[in-house]
């Protein structure tokens, strides 16, 4: 593995880990379910992609990289669906969002 690839891998891994940590921290810190959805989104998109790209640099041009690409595509395609499903389930039963002005909500939820 060349030095450049090693440095790039290290940078991507570090950045990804930082974003994963920020996302998890947000999941703990934010006040309600709907805002926490966004924090989980950080982990699922940028944190995950950056870490996997870093690992691709470690793997080089091999089948390992192909598998990493598959994992990344799979999660990027399925995570919005899962997020929407959770959000939709919560909204359907009328879980009230924190801090949203009342004129935004449907009649039944006010």
Partner 1 sequence: MMLAAATVGLLVAMLIVLARAIAGPSLYDRVLAVNSFGTKIVLLLAAMGFLSGRPDFLDIALLYALINFIGTLAVLKFFRYRHLGVASPSDGKAETTR
Partner 2 sequence: MLHALVMGTSLAVFWLLLSGYFTSSLLLSLGALSVVVTVYLALRADKHDGERVALRVDPPLVRYWIWLVIEIVKANIDVAKLILSPTMALSPRMVRVKATQPTDVGVVIYANSITLTPGTVTVDIDDDEFVVHAITQAMADGLTDGDMGDRVTALGAR
Q: How far apart are the C-alpha atoms of 56 and 71, rounded to whole Å?
A: 11
Among 5, 78, 103, 110, binds partner 1 (CB under 8 A): 78
Question: Where do runs of H (alpha helix) occur along the chain?
Answer: 3-29, 33-42, 48-59, 63-92
For residues 18 to 57, the per-residue mask of contacts with partner 2, x marking binding by CB under 8 A and - elsewhere, is -x--xx-xx--xxx--xx-xxx-xx--xx-----------
Q: How far apart are the C-alpha atoms of 109 and 103, rounded to whole Å?
A: 10
* Cβ closest to partner 1, residue 14 vs residue 103: 14
Does 69 engage in binding with partner 1 (CB under 8 A)? no
């Amino acid at each position: 593995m060349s030095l450049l690839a090693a440095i790039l891998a290290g940078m991507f891994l570090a950045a990804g880990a930082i974003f994963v940590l920020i996302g998890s921290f947000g999941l703990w810190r934010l006040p309600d379910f709907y805002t926490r959805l966004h924090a989980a989104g950080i982990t699922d998109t940028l944190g995950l992609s950056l870490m996997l790209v870093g690992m691709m640099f470690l793997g080089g041009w091999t089948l390992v990289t192909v598998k990493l690409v598959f994992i990344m595509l799979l999660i990027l395609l399925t995570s919005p669906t899962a997020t929407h499903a959770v959000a939709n389930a919560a909204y359907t039963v009328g879980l009230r969002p924190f801090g949203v002005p009342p004129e935004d909500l449907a009649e039944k939820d006010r």
